[in-house]
Structure formats: structure tokens, C-alpha cells
Amino acid sequence: MTTMEYERVFSLDDEALKCPYEHFKRARSECPVSRSEVAQVWVISDHEHVTAVLKDAVTFSTKQMLGPQVAEEWQRMIDLAAATPEGKEKLGPEYGTSPRKVLLFADPPEHTRHRKLIMSALSPAAIRSWEGRIRETAQLFVDRLAEQPRVNFVEDFANAYTMTVIADILGLPREQVPQMLKWAAGFNSMVGNPNLTQEEVDALVDVRLGFDLYFDEQVQQRRKEPTGDLISRVIELNDAAEEKLARDDLLQLFQLVMVGGSDTSSTALAKMIEYLAENPEQWTELRNDASRIPLFMEEMLRTESPVQGMFRYVTKDVELGGQSLKQGDYVWVSLGAANRDPKVFDDPDTKNLDRKGTPAKYVSFGGGPHTCPGTALIRLGLRIVLEMLTARFTGVRFTGEKPASKKSFLFFGPAELHVEFLN
């Protein structure tokens, strides 16, 4: 088989990472299920097969969801963390006894139980109850920006804003946000990184222990005195359930909310601002008519998928797209490529705000049983802040070089974004 262009993406080539989805085009039209020798996975690149894999969570398991090269390191890290004397002493003898296979790391039927918990905690009513707080947070950040309009938007705004929203819904103090950002960056450094060094693994153990100690204390406090936040809701639901999640599993669930909800949302927001800096007329359109903002967000999320793909583990031999996949193989579902499949989206590379039916079809939030449970929250958080930014400023412009992309084939967006907001 000829070498596919996408190998440059898996090799973390800077140029290729600027538009990763471009490098999946030929594979998508000629061979939608193909083999990457670099990533050691089957690459699924068209919408039909991507959605089929996402829906079949039994054949295509998420249990080894960090991919072929990282899975082993991850397991080793868990064992190390569990064996840490400090952890055992502070978190008790049960610490480290659960395999921590929760939500994205679990398959049905266990996954179905976890899912009930998180969906109830992130119910539309719960999200409505947080709206006022999200508005306050967005206002605070926009006011700060008005005072200091030249920023590295990624670090100074997007990361901090999205993590503050997550801290608020978890019921954690805002002073904790810098530490949460460090923990999330630590956990994320492992995803899509096939070359973890011993030092990185050691650093991850520290991250994991710091996170566990803090969150365990928060859980204990909420047990004594529930406060109506996401942690309290999950604990109440779990305590009332017939089959309960163990303490370590609850910690992993909160970890997934913190990690899954922050960098993805921050990347999405930064990519939107980068695009608006490149297309000032689009800023003006949104400023003149805020009802266009949700349509803009959907097209941005479709064409610039913040999560470019996901790993799945093949649990039994199966034919897919004319290829024979074997039990134990891994697949990479290319969400970014599926979102630009011309068989599903007319003129797929264009951001068309009048496109019909987009949200129902694009796969930036995954699909099937693991579909992101944070979609309503993220749409609300992004809409509020974009409305405030476009109302407050007349535009945004670059103040530095065009930004480099994150060094990751999984997370897609600018690594830094030096811009100035205009009055």
C-alpha cells in the first residue's frame, strides 16, 4: 500500500499539524479504512465508517482508549501511583485497588451506569442553574480584557476562562484554577504521546496523587455537607444507586470532567478567535447580529474539530471497509476527516453559517454511547463569551506570528495566540 499523507500528522510534523484533516483526504476517498504504520492503528477516515465504529462500543472498545503505545505506560503509572506510600497513608488501604475504568475507559454495561450518573449531574436543569454564574465569569474575563486588550489569548483567557467555568460547576474555589490547569496539562501530556519518558511517567504519578488527595477531601466535605454542585450531585446519585462506584472510580470521573471539559473547550474558543482575527468581516457580522453566533460555533466545531480523533480497541475479528481487523488491533477514528466528508456535507471545507442540519451530523463530540456529555454546557459557555466579546470589541487582530498548532495529533488548535482586541 502507498504511504498515506496522514503519516506526517502522526509523526507530529509541524506543517501537517496546522491542517491535520487535509492529510486524511486521499485516504477518505480511496481507502477509508487504511493502515498507519507510524501510529500502528487502522485509520478510519470517512463519515460512514467513523459513525459505525463509534456506535458499536462492544466491538470497538474504549477500555484502552489512550492508544496502542500509551496504554501500557498508563497502566504502569496507575500501579506506581497506587503503590505510593503517601497515597496509601493519606487515602487509605483501598487506594489503588480499583482499575479505574470509568466512562471513557469503560465499556457497556458498566459504562451505562457511569453514564447515568454524569448525565443526571449535567442535566439541562443543572446547566440552567449554572448559567448566571457562567455569565458572571465571562463578564469578569471580558472586563479584564478591556483593561489589557493585548494578550496571549490561549493562556491569558481561554484556558483560564474554561477552567474557571469547570471549577464553578464542580463547586471548587477559583484560587484552585491554576493548580487545576497544571493537573489537566499533566494528564493531557500523556494522551497521544507515544514516547513517554520515565521522568514524564514519574511526573504523572505526582499529578495523579496531588489530584486524588485534593478531590478526595472535596468528596468527603460534600458527603458531610452537600452544596448542590456537580461533585455533590454525583455523590448523592451514587450513594443512592444500587451498584455504587468505588471511591477511586469517583475520583476518575471527576478527573474526566476536569480534563475532558477544559482543554477541549479552551482549544475550541481559541480556534474561533484565531479564525475571527483572520476574517474580520465575520467578526462584524456576528457583532451586528448575535443570532448568528450559534451557527458560527457549529461550523467552527465541525470544520476545526478540537479533538481530531479517538482510539478504539478491537475486541473481536471484524470486516470493516473491505479490511480484516483482528482482535487486539487498534483503530483511530478521524473525527476531523469525517466532519469534512463531501458525501455528507456539501462544500465541506467552507464554513457556511446557513448550512442545514449540521449539529445532527458532525462528530466532534464523538457519537454512540460515549458521546460527550458536556455538549450543552460547552455550547452555553462558548455562546455567552462570544456574545460578550463581539458586543464589547469592534474586532481582533494578530500581534505576533501566525500561531503554531499544538504538538498533538489528537488535540487541535493554536498553541499560543497573540492578539489584540480592538475598541
Residue 140, amino acid: L
Among 151, 181, 325, 378, binds ligand HEM (CB under 6 A): 378
C-alpha 18/C-alpha 278 separation (Å) is 15
> What is the smallest separation between the CB atom of 380 and ligand HEM, expressed in angstroms?
10
Strands (DSSP E) along 240-399, which ranges? 309-314, 318-320, 323-325, 330-334, 395-398
- Pick 60 or 84: Cβ nearer ligand HEM: 60
Smallest gap, in angstroms, from Cβ of residue 15 to ligand HEM? 24
Q: Which is nearer to ligand HEM, 96 or 374 (CB)?
A: 374
- Pattern of binders to ligand HEM over 269-308, x per CB under 6 A? -------------------------------------xx-
Segment interacting with ligand HEM (CB under 6 A) among 211-219, 239-247, 364-372, 391-399: 364-372
- Told to check if 67 binds ligand HEM by CB under 6 A, we report no
Binding test (CB under 6 A) with ligand HEM, winner from 32, 186, 192, 374? 374
3-state helix, strand, coil in the chain (%, to 5): 55, 10, 30
Only one of the segments 4-12, 316-324, 368-376, 397-405 lies at the binding site for ligand HEM (rule: CB under 6 A); that segment is 368-376
Minimum CB distance to ligand HEM smaller for 87 or for 373 = 373
- Please state, in angstroms and as integers, the Cα–Cα distance from residue 387 to each residue in 122, 376, 393, following that order: 23, 16, 10
CB of 169 to ligand HEM, least distance (A): 7
Cβ 64 to ligand HEM shortest distance, Å: 13
Q: Among residues 20 and 395, whose Cβ is nearest to ligand HEM? A: 20
Which residue among 4, 17, 53, 54 contacts ligand HEM (CB under 6 A)? Answer: 54
Per CB under 6 A, 120 contacts ligand HEM: no
The mark string for 245-274 relative to ligand HEM (x by CB under 6 A, - otherwise) is -----------xx--xx--xx--x------
By CB under 6 A, is residue 344 in contact with ligand HEM?
Answer: no
Which of residues 342 and 368 has its CB atom nearest to ligand HEM in the complex? 368
What 3-state DSSP class applies to 305?
coil
User: Minimum CB separation from ligand HEM for residue 170, in Å?
Assistant: 9
Which of these ranges, 24-32, 199-207, 366-374, 400-408, lies near ligand HEM under the rule CB under 6 A?
366-374
- Is 414 an interacting residue with respect to ligand HEM (CB under 6 A)? no
Report DSSP state, residue 344. T
In angstroms, what is the minimal distance from the CB of 365 to ligand HEM? Answer: 5
Q: State in angstroms the smallest separation of the CB of 359 from ligand HEM.
A: 13
Kindly write out the interface string for residues 75-114 of this chain, putting x where it contacts ligand HEM by CB under 6 A and - elsewhere.
----------------------------xx----------
Please report whether residue 365 would count as binding ligand HEM according to CB under 6 A: yes
DSSP conformational letter for 92: -
- Residues in touch with ligand HEM (CB under 6 A): 54, 103-104, 115, 118, 256-257, 260-261, 264-265, 268, 306-307, 310, 364-368, 370-374, 377-378
